Each structure stands twice: as structure tokens, then as C-alpha cells.
Structure 1
């Protein structure tokens, strides 16, 4: 006799019923996740357990007839395996395909799924729709970090890149910043569909916000903001460059996407914080292996904030200890914000650990509510 192997399938409606959009709960799940990360109670892929995942890109040309080619930015597949311990004790992966041309079909750029597996047997426990899951865990991370890094009386929030990620981040920021009065929005233009959609979303859901400003420039969006939330996905050629002088004293800047900055030395005048320093080191080594980077950083113009910090360490401009880890702050080993006037720059690259933890908590809630479809793998394996 073999034990039954059943798993739960959760579509997007099931995930919503299971609380995937519960910002308060997601923030606390991210706090638990980063605490376990700091205690090294986890595994990621790769020999040093710090890989973001394994990515498959299509070539620009091929001699094979009908072979799929890179026909625009962001055509790829990504597998992101992980194990997370503590109260979760779960293995699994996030997997997705992505193509910028999806928008022409009315589809999201990336279509994501998360799989949870039993750690002992490897059997599947759940397969779930993960677009909302991934967006919420991404948005909850800076909100959670903000409880340590931002000034408590923050009143002006700037959303740079008004897409799904910053919409979910907004939901989470509003849980931890009760005094927000002004929200700035920077899209591709003041009248872009996403910018106007974000404005309407704020008006419908947060009537306490007194002013919504659609910004003409990146500079306008950054100036006077207490919290800056960047979640852009534009190609490098279309990115605007940030300037340190735009940020007011006491500003906290979170980058979850593409942060183009050329004057690396400016970061020496800020407090630098990362979610996973080793992940940014790996990005850097990958660039070097592909011939895109030398030890002086002359060949690659990075658009990931955390890589700027690694570059400063690698060129001996700061010690590694000069870059703080969110997990150490969560676990009380390191202080967060230490003065009202310091400018804090925080890089949030995201890890599959966060997908697993939030997926697990949604899975547990789905079981409690009887949500989802139970599927059978087998009564017993056909071949033994």
C-alpha cells in the first residue's frame, strides 16, 4: 500500500480568497522570512546557496529552422528553487515565462506559478497561481523594511513606476505609514494609462490622501519625498538617471527594479542596505564571466542598486560592513535608521524564499477555508 499523494491547486480567485492581498499579514510573513534568512535557516540554488534562480534566455539568431529567438526585451524562462525552515519547513520553486510582447495579447509580461513540496518526500503539496503572490511579497518587503529604515512621521510617498509591483507596495506602505498625505506618481508620462490608473486606485481606496501629484520628471517625483519607491521595468535606453541631490534629508529610497545611477561615490554619503548581498555579488560575477565587467566597472552600466554597493566594496571604497543587511536589522544585530536626517538607500532584489513563505501561508489559509481543488497524483505508482 502506498500513501495517497494529493496536492492542492489554487487559481488566482482561490488565492484572493486565501488572503494573498492581505498586506498586514504579508508584511509579517516577510519579517519572519528575513529573520530565518539571517539565521541561515534556508537554502537557495547554486553552490553558495545565493542564486536568484536559473534563467533561460533565447538567442538572437539560430541556424535551426523554427528555433525561438529573442524578439524583444525580457523573453525568458526562470526557475527559482528554495527551502525555508522555521515554522514554514517547506521546499519549492517559483517558475515563470516572460515576454514583453505579452501586453499586445492582453497578458501580464510574466506569468508565474509557485509549487510547494514536502521536504522529506519531495511530493507536491500545492501548485498555485503566483502573479499576485509575487507582486504582494515584493511590495511587502520594502514596507516591512520601512518599519526600521524610514522616519515614522513620513507624509510624502513617491511611486516611481506605477505598475502592479508599486500598486501592491502602496497597499503595504499604507499599512505602516498612517500619516501619508501626499502621493507622487512618476510613469512614462503624466497621462500614461498606468499613472492615471494608479491615481484612480488611490482615490478609490485611500480617501485620506490629501494630494496626488502626477509628475513630469523623475526629479519632481524624488524631491521632497519622505519615501521613494522605485519599481520600474523599462529598458536601460529608456531609463532616467537618478541624482542624489534630489533626495531630501531623511529620505528613504527603496529600489525594486531599475535604478540607473552613474556617480557611485555619492552612495558613500548615504546609509546602504540590502536584502541579500551575496545575490548582488553573484550578479556581478555573472557580468564578469560574460565579459560585461572588469574590476574597475568600466564595461557595464548597472541598473540594480545593490550592484552599486558591491562595486564600492570591490573597489575598496568601503568595507563590506558598510552595507547593512535587512535580516541583521530584523534580528537586532544591526541598527536601522540611526538619525532623522540620514538618507537611506535600500535595494530589494527579491528571493524565492519570499514566494515560498507567502505561498505557504496562503496555502495554510486555503486549507482552513476549504478553498482550491484537490488533485491526485496517483493511487500508487504504475512502475515501482
Structure 2
């Protein structure tokens, strides 16, 4: 079922719960199939919703976790060893749980939380590395509104952010898109970017090799779904993938500290380089480039948690996160804080976006729980209107203890 990109929804959470005098509490359960029917993979609409969300972030009409209300989430890591018998051990490269709560205002006026467990060993079981669920709650009463499958939701909102960046910051005649990483996230990025830049003619793919299964699957997907793309090129090196690109979407999965390096001399004038995952570029090469971020406070939190210092040669270590590296550059006096532009400032017209066809723009997009809340609410609203999902009861009346 396709969702109309321009459909407007009433604030279902506020209307259905606050005005009701009933003590009955129930919520809508949406399976992964239900989420597909509710339009969770509607890339064009998701780009629009993310733009709306970023505007509310700029307005301050939101809350996230942490002491400054701007944290990515609360992470529960397992140790690599423990003296306690049968204690969970991190014997994979990514075993953790994360709670990502947020409130988003505007027409959404809803609270929610994405909760997920991650384990790199899942792939041996035929499962995705991370299994995610999403909860929405009425802000006024705390009533649960919906509980839904979150994997497709999370991927789509992640991909829609680069789509929004490409809409506002790419050169008008962008023809070459490069995808660094060919996994699920960059597939969602591809879907979103193509909705706002349908004139792309060449797509370059950088997987682990020319014959990597993910790269070949991505090539096949592009050829099947985007007939206007004239050429799909499988690249063996980062340099080959970055050179001549108008837009780069980076979503590389790699071991911590093994981030592939990108060099300024590979970047053509006018390049828009979007990082959603890992980033490694010499600090001195970044200084004169335009730098755009989604949420500076989140990167300050990252830097405070990581406390990365300097190597044996006195050179600042890289974090693998573009926005966090920007924080270190400010700490080291390489750039000024006001040299960073918030994406919300561009959306709200406070600062210009692209100012010439020659400037190279770096964009850091790391993911925030308000993105999940926004897209979850949109899918939930669509599901309500179209009678999708299963209504589950909590109680008719709360029992006295």
C-alpha cells in the first residue's frame, strides 16, 4: 500500500486520548508487515517528515535523554569478561542494548522510545544484527498509543536524513552519486536521495570488493528500480568511489578504529559528502570546508564519553564520527564553534545552505530518537486511518492494589 507523500494527519495521540473520559487503555500493535502497509518505506514522505522534525529541533520543540536533553540514548554494554557465572559476555563486535527516548512537539506532540538489542553473532542465526521495537505514548496521560516493529522504521528515517541534505545542499545538476557501503542503511539513503535528485545518471558503489554480495545486490536493485540511471560502477578503492562524485553517502560498517580514510584531493568542487556512520579525514583538510551538523550537543556528548586524546606523535586521534571530530577540532582551536552550521538553521532560513557550485560541503548525520518518534507517529497515524494493525488491551479499568 502506497502512502500519499503530501497527506496531512491530525495529531492522533492528543485527540484520541486526552479528550476521552474512558478508563480503558489499549494500544495498536504493528508488525513488520503492518508497518510496510502503513508506508514505512515511503522514502519521499519520510524525507518531508524529517525536514519537519529538523525544523522543530531548531525551534527547541523537543526533548531527548541525557542531562542536556540532547543525547542519542542510554547504552547498556556487556563486558568482554566477567567473574560471574553465565554473565552475558561481549564476544561479538557489537553486543549491547540501547534505549532512545524522546518527545517531539509541533503537530506530533507525542513521546516515544526506540529500544533495541544488538549482537554481531545474530547473523549466524539468520537474524539482523540489531532487533528494534518502537513505542509511542500520549504525552498528557502516559497512555501507550502504539508498539511497533522498528527495523524498517529505523533504516528509513536514517536514509531520509541524507535525502533531505541532498535536497537542500547538493548542486542543482548533480549527476553522480557514490555510495560508500552497500548495506541496509545506504539502500535507504539511495531511496531517499533519488526522490529529491531523480536526475542522477551514474551511481558508484564501494563495497568490500567488486564481488561482494552486498555490492552486487545493490547494483541489481538499482538496475531494477531506477531505469534512469545509465551506469552503475563497482569501485575497489575509496578514491575511485569519491572522485568525480557530486554526492557521497557514507554508511560503512567496519571494526572500531579501522575507518577507511578519505582525502580532500579526491573531492571535486561542489561535492556534498554526507556521513551517517564512519568518517576519517585529516583534520587540516577539513578546516576550510563548509561543515553542517544535525545536533551539536549530541556530538559534545560523544566526545565527553569517548575522551579521545592524542597518539604518540601528538596528533589528535579520530573518533570515526564526523560531528565528534568537529568537536575535537574546536577544542584544539582549529575551527570556531560558529563555523558549524546546523541543518535546522538552513531549513528555517537563518543561514544559507549551498552558496556556490564550487564549495565542498561536509554533513554529519548520526541519528536521533526524535527522528524515530516523527516517523513512527506518521506510520501510526496512517495505520489508524486505514485500519492497519491489531488493537491490544491493557485494561478496561486499572485494578486497585
State TM-score, norm by structure 1.
0.96
Residues in 1 aligned to 2:188 and 2:22: alpha-carbon distance in whole angstroms: 43
Corresponding residue to 1:265 among 256, 277, 284 = 284
1:278 maps onto 2:297 in alignment: yes
Residues in 2 aligned to 1:35 and 1:237: alpha-carbon distance in whole angstroms: 34
Check whether the contact 2:157–2:372 (CA below 8 A) recurs between aligned residues.
yes
Q: Aligned residue for 1:352?
A: 369
Residues in 2 aligned to 1:336 and 1:43: alpha-carbon distance in whole angstroms: 26
Residues in 1 aligned to 2:389 and 2:165: alpha-carbon distance in whole angstroms: 32
Q: Aligned residue for 2:61?
A: 41
Residues in 2 aligned to 1:114 and 1:337: alpha-carbon distance in whole angstroms: 35
Q: Aligned residue for 1:253?
A: 273
Q: Aligned residue for 2:131?
A: 111
SS, match of residue 95 in structure 1: strand
**How big is the shift at 1:2?**
5.5
**How big is the shift at 1:203?**
0.7
Residues in 2 aligned to 1:18 and 1:293: alpha-carbon distance in whole angstroms: 46
1:211 maps onto 2:227 in alignment: no
Q: Aligned residue for 2:210?
A: 190
1:172 maps onto 2:187 in alignment: no
Residues in 2 aligned to 1:305 and 1:237: alpha-carbon distance in whole angstroms: 14
Corresponding residue to 1:66 among 86, 89, 103 = 86
Show structure 2 runs of 5+ residues with no match. Answer: 1-20
SS, match of residue 131 in structure 2: strand
- Give 1:7-22 correspondences, 5 Å limit: 7-22=27-42
Q: Check 1:366–1:38 CA distance in 2 against 1; reply closer, same or farther (3 A cut).
A: same
Residues in 2 aligned to 1:213 and 1:304: alpha-carbon distance in whole angstroms: 27
**How big is the shift at 1:343?**
0.4
1:369 maps onto 2:386 in alignment: yes
Residues in 2 aligned to 1:114 and 1:297: alpha-carbon distance in whole angstroms: 44
SS, match of residue 236 in structure 1: coil
Check whether the contact 1:287–1:293 (CA below 8 A) recurs between aligned residues.
no
**How big is the shift at 1:276?**
0.5
Compare 313-322 and 117-126 and name the one that shifted more: 313-322
Residues in 2 aligned to 1:42 and 1:238: alpha-carbon distance in whole angstroms: 35
Q: Aligned residue for 2:349?
A: 332
**How big is the shift at 1:373?**
0.4
Count the aligned residue pairs. 380
Q: Aligned residue for 2:140?
A: 120
Check whether the contact 1:297–1:311 (CA below 8 A) recurs between aligned residues.
no
Deviations 1:244-275 (A, max 9, x none): 111111000000001122x1011112100000
SS, match of residue 229 in structure 1: strand
Deviations 1:339-375 (A, max 9, x none): 1000000000110000000000000000111000000
Residues in 2 aligned to 1:109 and 1:203: alpha-carbon distance in whole angstroms: 27
Deviations 1:195-232 (A, max 9, x none): 00000100110011000000011110000000000001
**How big is the shift at 1:297?**
8.2
Check whether the contact 2:199–2:228 (CA below 8 A) recurs between aligned residues.
no
Check whether the contact 2:23–2:398 (CA below 8 A) recurs between aligned residues.
no
Check whether the contact 2:280–2:320 (CA below 8 A) recurs between aligned residues.
yes
Residues in 2 aligned to 1:56 and 1:16: alpha-carbon distance in whole angstroms: 30
Check whether the contact 1:33–1:357 (CA below 8 A) recurs between aligned residues.
yes
**How big is the shift at 1:8?**
0.3
Compare 276-285 and 310-319 and name the one that shifted more: 310-319
1:143 maps onto 2:163 in alignment: yes
Corresponding residue to 2:178 among 158, 176, 187 = 158
Residues in 1 aligned to 2:217 and 2:263: alpha-carbon distance in whole angstroms: 27
Check whether the contact 2:257–2:320 (CA below 8 A) recurs between aligned residues.
no
SS, match of residue 269 in structure 1: coil
Q: Aligned residue for 1:302?
A: 319
Q: CA RMSD in A?
A: 1.5
1:293 maps onto 2:309 in alignment: yes
